[in-house]
Amino acid sequence: MHLTRPLQARREKILAGLLFASLLVALVNTLAAWRRTAILEAAWKRNPDELSAQWAARQIEAFGARPAAIALLLSHRNPNAIWFDYRLHYLILPRNFDLFWDVLPQNANRRFAFLITYGAAQAQPLPPGWRLVGRAQRASLSVSSSYGNLRRHEQRPPGFFSASLAACLGLVSLMVLVIGGWCALRAVSPARIMATWWGELAVAHLVGAAMLTCGCSPIAFIAQHFALWEGYVGLVSGVLLSWAGSHIFLRGRQEATVLQRETAFPHFPQERVLSVIAWGVLGIAFCVTVWQGLALGIDWDGYSIWQLKAKAFVTQGGSLSVLHDSYHFFYAHLDYPLLVPIQTWWTCAHAGSYSELWVQGIGLLFTMDILALFADFCLRVVGRTPAVVGCALLLAMPVFSHMALSGFADIPLAAYLIAVGVGGTLTLWGERGALWVTGWLLAGLVLTKNEGLAAVLAMLLAFLYSTRGRLRLKRQGLALWLSFLLLAYLPWALMKHRWQLTSDLFVPGVLQRATSQTLPHLLYILSEWIFHLLRFGPWYPAWGLLGVWIGLGLFCCGGHVRETARLFGLMGLLLLTFDSGVYLITPHDLHWHIATSMDRLLLQVVPLLLLAAFAACFGNWRHDPLS
């Protein structure tokens, strides 16, 4: 039933008011994030553990110690000593060290060239055969007298020409990914698939990253070594596969005729003022995001899991030895997929050295992919002003800005998730090439994180539900997409089985503990989801009025946008349901696990859920005629 004119006018005023309120909350949250960043930066610069780890790494680098010639002595009297261990592992790569607690083994000065002592371990008398080099706030460095030829080497920063050349080569490597993805898109469809050229570039980057990972991984797993030529082989193979497969699989499919590239959208109250405010909030949020990344560097999971592997690949000449060194890197979740580390390795290998600036630049690129895809799809369905407002609301969320340049894999996963949702919708609409492109996006999604498997399952279930009565499309989608998933995940699954890389979730007794307290734990998990969304600001995680928009989207869903909002909403809600199942079987303390991961899990689905809410709330304005 169409809305009458008074009722639709009232709805327009309510939605416009909610947009203004959301931008106000977003502005407050952004300013709070600015203040929070300043506080964290000051604390980080004075952190004695970080300063000591950085000092020890510089000293080791100056001496040029060879691998396996370093010992680290910790004390059980320091509860945070293990953090120093993890951080030092990352900083001194490609070198490694052996860890000892409280007491050194006999003849340690003959086995190791260097001894790093931390915290209370410094109070012990220095064993015979060691000479103290220096001390930091919480660490000291000693040199073995058995290695008398150890001398400091003068460290010179790279010159302007070499730094400029490295920057150019790194940028070229990113352009190669985009060009490879663009060629794959053109092989599938000569016409543009997305509504805008920048939306097309975002999809091209995601497709290129997926082709790089799918193409070079099998070769590298066989050769036990990553090399740049493997990446180029993967990109070329991906383009050829797209050309050949699309001509065979997509033969006879007609190009969509129901889709408009530009949307003529009716104005609503004070649209120009709303657009100006949204652009201002978006600009401020972008500045905060960049400053936060540069000020704080990459965060915990970044340097202990994802970028640890990337740095090992780069500094060890492409060797995969880190993946089966569970003795030293037991904490690094070696069973996690490698799309994110491979992106960093690809760029840094071209640039000639590892740098956290490239890590953050790649994270910013995935962030821009999310914003571009969100705005591109909004232009098809809801118009320009809601598109700008939605991008501002996303980037102004402190969780979003914090994770963007942190080295985590959650932003890339969110980018692939929203891209898969958009690709699935375009497939339902009959857009030529969308079916094949979504296959590449699903391949990238499953190789981003372990949660990617749950995200793929959520997408397939939502697609099956949305294609009721469309048997031919359902069969085509399942056949093609399952083939892509097999191509992407099978080599990684075989490699994990060969090297016995297992998840920490699958430990003895997990299912028994989960079934014994299922109902109370489930109620607690559901309450945490709700209370987490209600933390709208101004302090972290500060989701803004996301919960209000999701609820309003469920209320407004109808008309021609029902199919779109339903697909997006089903994907997001199913993924949150699967994540709740993971919480039920977690071997960790449930309260700790939720406190340390729920913000990241919500971040993965936030762009998709907000897009679903906007499509439901504003999409009918275009289609429902006034009575």
How confident is the model over 427-471, as pLDDT tens digits? 998 888 899 999 999 999 999 999 999 999 999 999 999 898 888
Q: CA-CA distance, 204 to 209, in Å (whole number)?
A: 9
Confidence of residue 516 (pLDDT cuts 50, 70, 90): low
Q: How many CB atoms are closer than 10 A to CB 356?
A: 19
Which range, 264-278, 412-426, 522-536, is most confident? 412-426
Residue 542: DSSP 8-state: -
* Spatial distance between the Cα atoms of 143 and 126, rounded to a whole number of angstroms: 11
- Give the strand order in the sheet containing 114-118: 98-101, 70-74, 114-118, 139-144, 130-135
- The answer to whether the beta carbons of residues 71 and 98 sit under 8 Å apart is yes
If you write DSSP's letter for every residue of 487-514 in order, what string do you get?
A: HHHHHHHHHHHHHT---TT--TTHHHHH
605 touches 536 (CB < 8 A): no
Residue burial 234-253, b: 16+ Cβ < 10 Å; e: rest: bbeebbebbeebbeebbeeb
129 phi and psi angles, rounded to 5 deg: 95, 5
Average pLDDT value over all residues in the chain: 87
What is the rounded average pLDDT of the residues 330-338?
91
**Dihedral sign from CA coordinates of 215, 219, 222, 223:** negative
The Cα–Cα gap between 167 and 262 comes to 37
Compute how many other C-beta atoms are within 10 angstroms of the C-beta atom of residue 622.
18
Strand partners, 143: 114, 131
Q: Please tell me the predicted confidence (pLDDT) of residue 376.
A: 95
pLDDT band of 547, cuts 50, 70, 90: confident
Calculate mean pLDDT across residues 150-179.
Answer: 85
Q: In 130-227, which residue ranges form alpha helices assigned H by DSSP?
A: 160-188, 197-223
Q: What is the pLDDT of residue 155?
A: 65
Please compute the mean of the pLDDT values over residues 314-341 and round it to a whole number. Answer: 91
Share of the chain above pLDDT 70, in %: 89
Q: Report strand pairing: 114-118 vs 139-144.
A: antiparallel
Helix axes 434-446 and 451-466, enclosed angle (nearest 10): 150
Tokens 């191509």: give the residue. 487
Please choose, from the candidates 374, 322, 568, 297, the residue with its C-alpha nearest in 3D space to the C-alpha of residue 458.
568
CB-based contact 275:384 (threshold 8 Å): yes
Instruction: For residues 296 and 313, give the distance between their C-alpha atoms in angstroms, rounded to a whole number.
Output: 24
Q: How many residues does the chain have?
A: 627
Q: Give the model confidence (pLDDT) of 1-31 as tens digits.
A: 444 555 567 777 888 899 999 999 999 999 9
**Higher confidence at residue 258 or residue 210?**
210
Number of H helices, E strands in the chain: 23, 5
Give the pLDDT confidence score for residue 158 in this predicted structure: 76
H helical segments located in 352-431: 356-381, 384-396, 398-404, 410-429
**407 Cβ neighbours under 8 A, 6+ residues apart:** 298, 299, 301, 302, 303, 306, 307, 356, 359, 360, 363
Distances 175 to 133, 210, 226 between C-alpha atoms, Å: 46, 14, 20
| Range scoring the smallest mean pLDDT among 63-77, 200-214, 349-363, 371-385 | 63-77
| DSSP output for 301-313 | HIIIIIHHHHHHH
Q: List the Cα angle 85/600/394 in 5-degree steps.
A: 130
Long-range contacts, 271-275 (Cβ 8 Å, 24+): 271/16, 271/385, 274/16, 274/19, 274/20, 274/23, 274/385, 274/389, 275/384, 275/385, 275/388, 275/389
Cβ pair 441, 419 in contact under 8 A: yes
